[in-house]
Amino acid sequence: MTEERNGRRPHGEILLSESQIADRVRELGAEITADYTERAPLFVGVLKGAFVFMADLVRAVDLDAEVDFMALSSYGRSTETSGIVRILMDLNEPVQGRDVVLVEDIVDTGLTLSYLEEHLATAGASSVEMCALLVREGRQHEGSRIKYVGFELPPAFVVGYGLDAGEYGRNLPYVAEHLQ
């Protein structure tokens, strides 16, 4: 456990260091670049958690790319999903005929990504691929498909690198267990 310092609340063990994350994001960027050669995908980030990951990811992609964001709610202020996904902010860019890379910070059950994949397909996206920084081991429902996975983690609640617990921890440059 880290000590509280500089006004920062303590958190548990660091699970992914800043350098581990940076290395994996570069690898994911290279994979996406290879898969989308001569295409310009629309990267859709799920707010708020994916903003840090997506910023680093699009810089690691050697393609013309556009970005847009959606805000959803399935957790509210809880650490457990409600099972109901609500769109709080939809896209500004049309997806009709576009290749979309959906960027998520962490995937638990896959409910949110499945909902978004269907939403984007209904809006006319020609393809939708999913990219998640973190996937919780053994929690995804049948049919959940994530093409680009940064890391798999046990089902612990984590903070850092955009992920939060009640808005705490988003600015940490690493991923750590959250002390509840």
Contact status, residue 160 vs residue 74, Cβ threshold 8 Å: no
Residue 108 in tokens: 């638990």
| Catalytic-residue membership of 108 | yes
Give the pLDDT confidence score for residue 87 in this predicted structure: 87
Residue 3's pLDDT is 45
Set 62, 90, 105, 108: catalytic member: 108
- For range 129-156, the mean pLDDT: 83
Structure tokens, 68:
């847009």
- What is the pLDDT at residue 16? 96
**pLDDT at residue 179, as a whole number:** 81
pLDDT band at 144 (very low <50, low <70, confident <90, very high): low
Identify the band that residue 134 occupies on the pLDDT scale cut at 50, 70 and 90.
very high
160 Ramachandran zone, left/alpha/beta (phi>0; psi -120 to 50) = left
- At 73 the pLDDT is 78
Please determine, for residue 12, whether its predicted confidence score (pLDDT) is greater than 90.
no
Matching residue, tokens 């994350």: 21
pLDDT of residue 33: 98
User: Phi and psi for 31 in degrees, rounded to 5?
Assistant: -65, -45
Beta bridge partners of 136: 153
| CA–CA distances in Å: residue 39 to residues 33, 52, 57 | 9, 24, 16
Q: Is the pLDDT of residue 5 over 50?
A: no
CB 161 within 8 A of CB 144: no
Gap between the Cα atoms of 151 and 149, Å rounded: 6
pLDDT by residue (tens digit) across 40-96? 999 999 999 999 999 999 999 999 989 999 998 765 555 555 567 888 998 998 999
Domains, in order of start, for the chain: 14-177 (3.40.50.2020)
Determine what percent of the chain is predicted with pLDDT higher than 70: 86
